[in-house]
Amino acid sequence: MLIKVPRGWEIPEREATPESVYLRRREVLQGLGFTGLTGLLARKPLSANTGLYPAKRNTKYILDRELTPEAAAIGINNFYEFTLDKQRVKDRVGGFRVDPWTVEVKGLVNNPRKYDFDDLVRRFPLEERLYRFRCVEAWAMAVPWTGFPISALIKEVDPKPKAKFIRMVTAYRPREMPGIRSQPHYPWPYFEALRLDEAMNELSLFVTGIYGKPLPKQNGAPIRLITPWKYGLKSIKSIVKIEFTAKRPPTLWNEVAGMEYGWYSNVNPAKPHPRWSQAREKLIPHMTLVPTLPYNGYEEFVAGMYTGEEF
């Protein structure tokens, strides 16, 4: 059971102005024919995300290419819980409820917690970063993500010395996720994992926004992982559970087809997928071909964690 005790200075705005009172005031004002500035401001009910976006950009992370147009990045998705059709994910997410949302952190930590998302998103300072993104299927993009380093959350929950991995799990809502019903052979819910040092790497983000706005459902609202040196399948969406473990946890794609999808899934242009080359990538939306770089161009940040044998 999550018992939320907000400190005085962090009372969410929607509690400071109970929505019912707020909406009633709107009706009264509208009834009086008052639809001026107040009407405009009141149109959208205050939400978990009020005032957080856009976050300040961290200029340390620079791109070697243009940003992908927003419409493509939020319109062409992989989210098999909804459909395998990349262009249709956005049309199938309507029934997915992402508010309220709880993220449970458990396992080998000194401070296990259940974070209410509204609290979580205000607890760790958000920043914007421009990252390259490379799907294992050889399409790629460049995206302004908003989020916070995973290391901030890890420090707060304080892993025990035995913790060596973190396992993450997506929401399982067959009634809201039509792809779970039409693809029953997958071992839902989606699960992924990182080594603890990978999770602590400065590049590893928990992402809550994109293009200066809250994450759309098709991109993994309200919170997903981004590890830009790994294939996109590692970047698990709509996370509800984070568990610290001593043993290496399995991951969905590695479990389903280990020959095709490595546990690490570090981007490696020299190692072809059994069915296609990984030497080049197609930039959406025009599918311009460009070379793929080792660790997706992030070698300087991550190569020190590996022997080169991980895949």
Ligand X SMILES: Nc1nc2c(c(=O)[nH]1)N[C@H]1C(S)=C(S)[C@@H](COP(=O)(O)O)O[C@H]1N2
- Residues within the interface to ligand X (CB under 6 A): 77-81, 135, 170, 190, 219-220, 232-233, 235-238
In angstroms, rounded to a whole number, what is the distance separating the alpha carbons of residues 42 and 201? 41
Nearest-CB residue for Mo ion: 135
Provide, rounded to whole angstroms, the least separation between the CB of residue 58 and ligand X: 20
In angstroms, rounded to a whole number, what is the distance separating the alpha carbons of residues 212 and 36? 27
> What are the structure tokens assigned to 90, written together?
């956005």
Provide, rounded to whole angstroms, the least separation between the CB of residue 106 and Mo ion: 27
- Residue 83 or 201 having the CB closest to ligand X: 83
Provide, rounded to whole angstroms, the least separation between the CB of residue 195 and ligand X: 18
Provide, rounded to whole angstroms, the least separation between the CB of residue 76 and ligand X: 7
Going by DSSP bridges, is the β-strand pair 139-149/191-195 parallel, antiparallel, or unpaired?
unpaired
Which of 129, 140, 199, 212 shows the shortest CA–CA distance to 166? Answer: 199
Provide, rounded to whole angstroms, the least separation between the CB of residue 10 and ligand X: 29
Stretches 110-118, 127-135, 202-210, 252-260: which one binds Mo ion (CB under 5 A)?
127-135
233 forms part of the interface with Mo ion (CB under 5 A): yes
Contact 262, 234 (CB under 8 A): no
Provide, rounded to whole angstroms, the least separation between the CB of residue 197 and ligand X: 22
Task: Considering only residues 45 through 64, tell me which ones interact with Mo ion, judged by CB under 5 A.
Answer: none
Going by DSSP bridges, is the β-strand pair 139-149/280-283 parallel, antiparallel, or unpaired?
parallel
Q: Residue 40: CB partners within 8 Å, gap ≥ 6?
A: none
The 10 Å Cβ neighbour count of residue 15 is: 12
Provide, rounded to whole angstroms, the least separation between the CB of residue 227 and ligand X: 11
Name which position in 135, 150, 283, 302 contacts Mo ion (CB under 5 A). Answer: 135
Stretches 73-81, 86-94, 164-172, 193-201: which one binds Mo ion (CB under 5 A)?
73-81
Stretches 77-85, 157-165, 234-242, 269-277: which one binds Mo ion (CB under 5 A)?
77-85
204: partner contacted, choices ligand X, Mo ion, none (Cβ within 5-8 A by kind): none
232 forms part of the interface with Mo ion (CB under 5 A): yes
> What are the structure tokens assigned to 46, written together?
């205050």
Stretches 60-68, 128-136, 207-215, 295-303: which one binds Mo ion (CB under 5 A)?
128-136
201: partner contacted, choices Mo ion, ligand X, none (Cβ within 5-8 A by kind): none
| Rg of the chain (C-alpha set) | 20
Nearest-CB residue for ligand X: 232
Residue 147 bridge partners (DSSP) = 127, 207
235: partner contacted, choices Mo ion, ligand X, none (Cβ within 5-8 A by kind): ligand X
- Residue 76 or 302 having the CB closest to ligand X: 76
Q: How many helical (H) and strand (E) elements, i.e. helices and strands, does the chain have? A: 11, 12
Read off the DSSP letter of residue 290.
Answer: E
- Residue 49 or 83 having the CB closest to ligand X: 83
Tell how far CA 96 is from the center of its chain: 16
In angstroms, rounded to a whole number, what is the distance separating the alpha carbons of residues 198 and 175? 34
Task: Considering only residues 236 through 255, tell me which ones interact with Mo ion, judged by CB under 5 A.
Answer: none
Q: Residue 21: CB partners within 8 Å, gap ≥ 6?
A: none
Give SS3 for 113. Answer: strand
Q: Which residues contact Mo ion (rule: CB under 5 A)?
A: 78, 135, 232-233
